């Protein structure tokens, strides 16, 4: 595949980064993943804004406009022959001359971009959709989960817990037994027809899929939404649970800690919401 590194497009085999890069030494960087289907990106502005917010928050300054980023993304999709792609952007603070914690002055950020294949979304169908299985565990990551940091060890360790339990994802709750998110997704429950999702704060990533889904549901108006604290107990008694991310879109969950969710079938509210998402996502 063709990747982008510091101004050049080149085969991935030829892309080289110094071991003194702070992304390698400290996980000192911000990343982003933007879904693209046959060259049409979903939520590109939201994704890029979140990335720029993250860079500002950690004091990395990159001399590129939103339009510059969009054209790099478009070019990379073209060079990788389109299809269903996740566009990965990784910006580290740059390469230092020694290993030292403080932000070095005057180094140039390292910019790396690649694409990877993502599933081609099919139209949501509750009869054939595969229900996800989750295990739940206490969220032991850091308290700045709104920053899309390349330092993902906390998320990786939680994801692995689910993987080892033969589940698809790991649902996380804080020490007050309130849901935060999953290790690589946002979470929603449905109770009596109302979609409820944890509010944005430092405990979760402000997911762009979440943002777009909520905007679409508000625009449609037929499904009630609440952004508020959701307890683990509420999740256990929910009619439906969903998780969302750019590559899986809105995914229905039918098993939580080995117990069926609701009646154990993919839910009706999911069917409706996921259909609205798939019909309207390209407007965002």
| Choice between 72 and 205, CB closer to ligand PMP | 205
Nearer of residues 133 and 155 to ligand PMP, judged by Cβ: 155
Structure tokens at 103: 């932000």
Q: Which of 75, 148, 191, 279 is flagged as catalytic?
A: 148
184 near ligand PMP, judged by CB under 6 A: yes
Contact status: 150 vs ligand PMP (CB under 6 A): no
Question: Does an H or E element contain 139, and which?
Answer: none
Q: Catalytic: 148?
A: yes
**Distance set, CA 181 to CA 35, 100, 172, 185, 253 (Å):** 20, 33, 6, 6, 13
Of 186 and 197, the one with the shorter C-beta distance to ligand PMP is 186
Q: How far is the CB of 204 from ligand PMP (least distance, A)?
A: 6
Mapping DSSP onto H, E and C, the string for 15-76 reads CCCCCCEHHHHHCCEEEEEEEEECCEECCHHHHHHHHHHHHHHCCCCCCCCHHHHHHHHHHH
Rounded to the nearest whole angstrom, what is the least distance from the CB of residue 11 to ligand PMP in the complex?
26
Rounded CA-CA distance 255/130 in Å is 11
Smallest separation (angstroms) from ligand PMP to the CB of 263: 27
Residue number with CB closer to ligand PMP (95 or 158): 158
Dist CA 66 CA 70 (whole Å): 6
Binding site for ligand PMP (CB under 6 A): 33, 155, 181, 184-186, 205, 207-210, 244-246
Active site residues: 148
């Amino acid at each position: 595949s063709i990747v982008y590194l510091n101004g050049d497009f080149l085969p991935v085999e030829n892309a080289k980064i110094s071991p003194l890069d702070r992304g390698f030494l400290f996980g000192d960087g911000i990343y982003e993943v933007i879904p693209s289907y046959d060259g049409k990106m979903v939520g590109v502005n939201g994704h890029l804004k979140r990335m720029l917010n993250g860079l500002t928050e950690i004091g990395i300054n990159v001399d590129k406009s939103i339009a510059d980023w969009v054209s790099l993304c478009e070019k990379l999709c073209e060079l990788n022959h389109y299809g269903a792609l996740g566009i990965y952007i990784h910006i580290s603070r740059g390469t230092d001359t020694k290993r030292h914690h403080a932000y070095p002055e005057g180094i140039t950020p390292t910019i790396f971009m690649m694409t990877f294949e993502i599933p081609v979304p099919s139209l949501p169908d509750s009869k054939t959709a595969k229900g996800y299985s989750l295990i739940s565990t206490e969220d032991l990551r850091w308290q700045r989960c709104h920053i899309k940091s390349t330092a993902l060890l906390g998320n990786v360790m939680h994801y692995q817990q689910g993987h080892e339990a033969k589940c698809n994802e790991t649902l996380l709750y804080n020490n007050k037994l309130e849901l935060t998110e999953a290790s690589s997704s946002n979470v929603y429950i449905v109770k009596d027809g109302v979609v409820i999702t944890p509010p944005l704060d430092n405990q979760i990533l402000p997911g762009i899929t979440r943002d777009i889904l909520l905007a679409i549901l508000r625009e449609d108006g037929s499904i009630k939404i609440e952004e508020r604290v959701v307890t683990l107990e509420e999740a256990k008694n929910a009619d439906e649970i969903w998780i969302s991310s750019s590559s899986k879109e809105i995914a229905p969950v039918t098993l939580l800690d080995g117990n069926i969710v609701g009646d154990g079938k993919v839910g009706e509210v999911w069917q409706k919401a996921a259909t609205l998402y798939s019909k309207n996502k390209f407007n965002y």
